[in-house]
Amino acid sequence: MDIVGSVKPFKGFTDFSAIFPAGDRRGLIMYSVKDAIFAALAAICAAGCIYPPTTQPPPDAHEQVVIPLPYDLAWDAVNHVIAQNALRIQATDSNAGIIETVGPRFTLHDADCGRIKSVIGTYPAEPEMNASTVYTFGVHPRGPEASIVQVLATFNSPVKVPLRPTTDVDCISHGIQESNLLRQVLAQAKQTHRPTFTKPPDSEASAAPPTNHPTPKSTIERSNETPRSTSGFSIGGTHPLLEHSNLPDLPASPAP
């Protein structure tokens, strides 16, 4: 082994002087470049890489449902489910039928945020504590007595990759939370009805039609009636019952 400048090479260092003759340093330069490339690749692998989510978005059947309620009652049912799950409403538009809510932190059970590859292997990207969950509810009429309710979930989380800056990732939902919310909307729709108004008992009695009693005749009408005892009499005439042929003729009244 040659000693260059009376200095021995480090242990483990490749002694290119034994391979290449003095004055020919092209091979030494080539190997130095390769070592630099391998070192850079090793640094990249140690830093880690992130792969985007591969999960397919949930189908429409997991994100919408038809309920047998008109639009106004369907809107009330959706708001009841939102309050039941303690979702915070941050935007609402009843004319467009849209309600945007903020939910709690999600987990890997709810969405796919991709995978991280590092020197220790490949593992799923875990959502951070400041991950965000947004549920957007859509309510649209389907005829006079039915409505379509839709739930869209948006999951976002910063992901930490070793030796790299934090990256924001739009995670893809598994459709689990959307299906749970839609099942609650269906259950609430069975309990939602229009309010009914019943009349109190007193008002029913007062509203009943009065009993028809005969109206007593006035004294004027009674005065115009012919008494029953004089029925059949007429002025200048003879009652039929008083005409008897066997009665004697009565004298006429004296003249005045």
- Section 167-176 average pLDDT: 94
Q: What is the pLDDT of residue 1?
A: 47
Is the CB of residue 46 less than 8 Å from the CB of residue 119? yes
Residue with more model confidence, 168 or 209: 168
The yes or no reply on domain 60-191 and CATH 1.10.569.10 is: no
User: Does residue 63 carry a pLDDT above 80?
Assistant: yes
- Section 63-73 average pLDDT: 96
Domain boundaries, the chain: 16-47, 60-191
Q: What is the pLDDT of residues 200-223, one digit of tens each?
A: 766 555 555 666 656 656 555 555
